[in-house]
Chains A and B, each alone.
Chain A
Amino acid sequence: MRVTPGMTADNALYNLQQGRALMDSLQEQVASGLQVNKPSDDPLTARQILDLQHQIAQGKQYTSNIMKGSTLLNVTNTALNGISSIMTEIKKIAADNVSGNGTQAERDAVGDSLDALKKQLIDMGNTEYGGQYVFGGYQNDQPPFNSDGSFNGSEDELSIEVAQGARVPVTLKGGEPLRGTGGGIDILAEIENLKTAITLDPPDTAGISGQINTMGAAADQVTFGLIKVANSLVRMNSANSLVTNNQNTLLNVYESKQNVDYAKAGVELTKLQTAFQAALASTAKISQLSLLDYI
C-alpha cells in the first residue's frame, strides 16, 4: 500500500482526536466526581441513578413527614399527660367529698375548684402547635372547646404518610379523650354533674359516689388516648428506622454507581497521558521526515 503524507497527517489527526476525546471524558469524570455525567454516557445506569435519586428524595420527604408527625404526637402526649393528672385531682376531690360532710360554703368552694379544674381541662383541650389545635379534628384552626365546654371541632383524626401507602394517625379523633366520642364519657359534662351533686343542699351523696366511678372510667378513657398516641409514636419510630435504613442502602447503591473511584481514574489518566504523549512525539517526528532534507 502506498503511504502518502496526506494519509499520515489524516491518521495522526484522527488518532490524536481519539486520544483527546478519551482524556476529555475521563477528565470530566474526575472533575465532577460523577461516573455518569450525561444520560448518553451510560443510558441504562443513568436511568437507575435517576430512579435512585427519586427514591432518596421520596425517603427524605417521608423523614420530614415523620418528624412533623412525631412533633404533633408529642404535643398531644404532653396535653394528655396534663389532662390525666387533672383527672387524678378530680378523682381525689370526688373521693374526699363522698360523705357530703362540710358546710355549704366549704362545698361551694369545692365546686369552684372543680370549675377551675374544668377550665384547665378546656385549656388543655385547646392545646395548639403551630396554629394546629391538636384536639380539633379537621376543624383545627380555632379552639375546639368553648369556655362553657361545648365542642367546635370535628371528630376526625389526621393521618399522614410515613411510607408509600402507609398512613399513621398523628392526632386523636378530635376531642375523643375529653368527650368520649362514640359511647365514652363526656368528661366536661360529668364534672358539671359532680359539681352539682357536691354543691346541692343537702349534697347528693349517691350521685357523688356514682361520679367517683364515672371519673375513674373517665381517667381510663384519657389513658386509652395516651396509649393510642404511644402506639402512633411507636409506629413513627419504626417507620423512621425503616426509612433511614432504606436511605442508607439506597445511598450506598447510588454512590457505588455514581461516585468516581479516584485511584482508578488517576491510574487510567496516567495511562492515557503516556499514550497521548507517545502519539504526539511520534507524530511530530514522522511528520518531519522528507526526502527533501537529503537532496
Chain B
Amino acid sequence: MGIGNIFDIAASGIAAQRLALEVTGENIANVNTPGYSRQQVNMVSKLSINTGGVQMGTGVQVNAVLRSYDNMLQQQVVAGNSSYQENLTRQTSLEQIQPSFNELNADGLGSAVSGFFGAWQDLSVNPQGVAERQALLSKSAIMVDNFHQMNASLSDVATNADNDLTGIAADITASARNLALVNSQILATQAVGGNANEIMDQRDLLVRDLAENAGITWSLQSDGTATVSLVGLGALVSGTQSATVYTEVNGTKNDVKISALGAAQDPGDAALASQATGIGGRLGGTIAVRDFIVPGYLASLDSMAQQLVTAVNGQHALGSDLQGNPGGAFFSGTTSADIGLDPGLDSNKVAASLGGGVGDNTNALAIAAIQSSNLSFTTPSGTTVSTSTERFYNSLSSTVGIDVQGAQRSTAQGNAFLKQMNSLRNSHSGVSLDEELTNLIKYQQAFQGASKVINTATNMLDTILNMVR
C-alpha cells in the first residue's frame, strides 16, 4: 500500500463527486420539464483489499444513476387522465347546450309555447278579431322559430363533436408514432448499455398523453418498452410498431377506425362501435356527446314538436274557419327541425269555431286547453312520460341542468384526484430546488475534500522526495 493508492482513492472521489454535480445540474435544469423524474446518484465504495492484514478501501464508484419513479402512481395518473378528459369533454359540450334550455333569465321555447297557447286564449275572447288572429300567427311563428333554433344549436354541438373526432384521431396517431419511436430509442440505448432515464420519462409522458385522448390499457415490457391498446379498438403500440387511428366518413357521421400495427389504412380496418363501454378520454366523451347526449335531447325536443303538431292539428281539423270551411292543417312537419306553419294557413283560415259561426270560440278554447292536457313525450333517456307540454319542457331543462351539474361534479372530482396524484408524483419524482442546491453544496465540498486529499498526498510525496535529496 503506497502513497499512489491515496491518489487513486482521491481521484475516484473527484470523479464520483463531479458526476453527482452533473446529475444535480441536470435535475436543476429540468425542474420545469413536464414528465421529468428526478435522478439520483447511487455511490458505493469500491472493493476493499487486504494490505498487511488490514482491510483497506479503494475509493468510491458510481454504480447507477437512478430515476425516482413509482409505476403505481403512473398507473393512477393514466387512468385519472382518461376519465377526467372524458368528463371535461362532456361538460364543455353540455355547457354549450345549457343556454338554449335556460329560461331563468331569458325567454326561450318554454315561454314561446306559453305565448302560443295564450294567443289561442286571446282568440277565444274575440274569435273573429283580425288582430287576435294575426297575433296567433306571429306567436305560432315565434314558437316554430324557437324549435328551429334549439334544433340548430343542438345539431351544431353534435356536428362539432363529429369534427373533433378527426383531430383526436390524428393526435392519437401522432402520440402512438412518437411512442413507437421512443420504444426503439430505449431498445437502442439499452443495447449499448446506456442510461435511458430521460427517454423513459418521455415514454411515460406519451402514455399519459394517449390516456387523455382515449381509454387505454398499457403495460411495460421487461425491455423497457411500452405496449398500448385502445379500449374498443385494439392494439395501438407494440415495440417499435404503431397503428394509425383515423376517421372515415360513413353517411352523415365519421367512423373512428384503426389500422393494423405498422400497416397502412385498409377498408377492412376495425371501426369503433359507439356503444363500446369505457372508451374514455376525449374520444369517449366526444362520441358520447355525438351519439347519446345530443340525440337524447333532440329526441325529446322532436317528441315535443311532434306531440304539439298532432294535438293542435287534430283539434284544428275539427273546427271551421272564418268562411265556414273545415279547418285545414295548422302546423306542417313532425320534428323540431321541420315544424312550420302550414303553407296554406292565413289569419282567415284559423279554425276557432266548431259550429261554423265566426263568433264561435269553442274550438279556440279546445286548442287552448291542450296547454294543460297531458301528452305523451319522450325523455332524453328514452322513457315515455305523460304530462303537459310546458311541464315536460321544464323538466327537460331541469334534466339538462342535472346533466351539466353531474358532468361538472365528475370533472371537479377528477381534477382533484389528478391534482392529488400529480402531487404524489411530484413529491416522489419532482425536482426540489432546495434539495438540489443542498446537494450542490454537499457534492462541491466532497469534491473540494477529495482535491485536498490529492494536495496532501502531493505534499507527502514531496516530503519523502526531500528526504532522499
A54-B394, A64-B122, A138-B358 known; A2+B428 contact, CB < 8 A: yes
Contacts of B369 in A (CB 8 A): 161, 165
A-contact 0/1 string along B76-98, CB 8 Å cutoff: 00000000000000000001001
Q: Interface with A: B1-9, B248-256, B269-277, B434-442, which one?
A: B434-442
Q: Of residues 430 to 456 in B, which have CB atoms within 8 Å of A's CB atoms? A: 430-435, 437-438, 441
Q: Contact check, B433 vs A291: say whether CB atoms are below 8 A apart.
A: yes
A245 part of interface (Cβ distance < 8 Å): no
Contacts of A11 in B (CB 8 A): 419, 423
Q: Contact check, B401 vs A161: say whether CB atoms are below 8 A apart.
A: no
Q: Contact check, B125 vs A69: say whether CB atoms are below 8 A apart.
A: yes
A64-B122, A131-B128 known; A46+B398 contact, CB < 8 A: yes
Contacts of A132 in B (CB 8 A): 126, 128-129, 359
A37 CB to closest chain B CB, in angstroms?
6
Q: Contact check, A43 vs B427: say whether CB atoms are below 8 A apart.
A: no
Q: Contact check, B433 vs A292: say whether CB atoms are below 8 A apart.
A: yes
CA–CA, A237 and B118, complex, Å: 21
Contacts of A58 in B (CB 8 A): 114, 371
Q: Of residues 1 to 31 in A, which have CB atoms within 8 Å of B's CB atoms? A: 1-7, 10-11, 14
B408 part of interface (Cβ distance < 8 Å): yes
Q: Contact check, B114 vs A138: say whether CB atoms are below 8 A apart.
A: no
Contacts of A4 in B (CB 8 A): 426-427, 430-433
A183 part of interface (Cβ distance < 8 Å): no
A2-B432, A295-B441 known; A50+B423 contact, CB < 8 A: no
Give the residue of A34, A39, A61, A138 whose beta carbon is less than 8 angstroms from that of B357: A138
Query: Chain B interface mostly helix, strand, loop or mixed?
Result: helix
Q: Interface with B: A74-82, A99-107, A152-160, A195-203, which one?
A: A152-160
Q: Contact check, A39 vs B404: say whether CB atoms are below 8 A apart.
A: yes
A7-B430, A37-B105 known; A156+B401 contact, CB < 8 A: no
A46-B104, A161-B124, A292-B437 known; A40+B361 contact, CB < 8 A: no
A39-B401, A40-B98, A61-B121 known; A137+B359 contact, CB < 8 A: yes
Q: Contact check, B121 vs A7: say whether CB atoms are below 8 A apart.
A: no
Q: Of residues 374 to 407 in B, which have CB atoms within 8 Å of A's CB atoms? A: 390-391, 393-395, 397-405
A39-B398, A50-B394 known; A138+B434 contact, CB < 8 A: no
Q: Contact check, B110 vs A54: say whether CB atoms are below 8 A apart.
A: yes
A-contact 0/1 string along B451-466, CB 8 Å cutoff: 0000000000000000
Contacts of B405 in A (CB 8 A): 40, 43
Q: Contact check, A44 vs B398: say whether CB atoms are below 8 A apart.
A: yes
B102 part of interface (Cβ distance < 8 Å): yes
A231 part of interface (Cβ distance < 8 Å): no
In the complex, the chain B residue whose C-beta lies closest to that of A142 is B358
CA–CA, A54 and B397, complex, Å: 13
Q: Contact check, A50 vs B125: say whether CB atoms are below 8 A apart.
A: no
In the complex, the chain B residue whose C-beta lies closest to that of A47 is B398
Contacts of A3 in B (CB 8 A): 427, 432
In the complex, the chain A residue whose C-beta lies closest to that of B441 is A295
B410 part of interface (Cβ distance < 8 Å): no
CA–CA, A138 and B356, complex, Å: 8
B-contact 0/1 string along A268-286, CB 8 Å cutoff: 0000000000000000000
Q: Contact check, B394 vs A51: say whether CB atoms are below 8 A apart.
A: yes
Q: Contact check, B391 vs A10: say whether CB atoms are below 8 A apart.
A: no
Contacts of A36 in B (CB 8 A): 104
List, sorted by A's number, 9 A–B pairs whose CB atoms are closer than 8 Å.
A3-B432, A7-B427, A39-B398, A40-B400, A138-B353, A138-B358, A156-B357, A158-B127, A167-B365
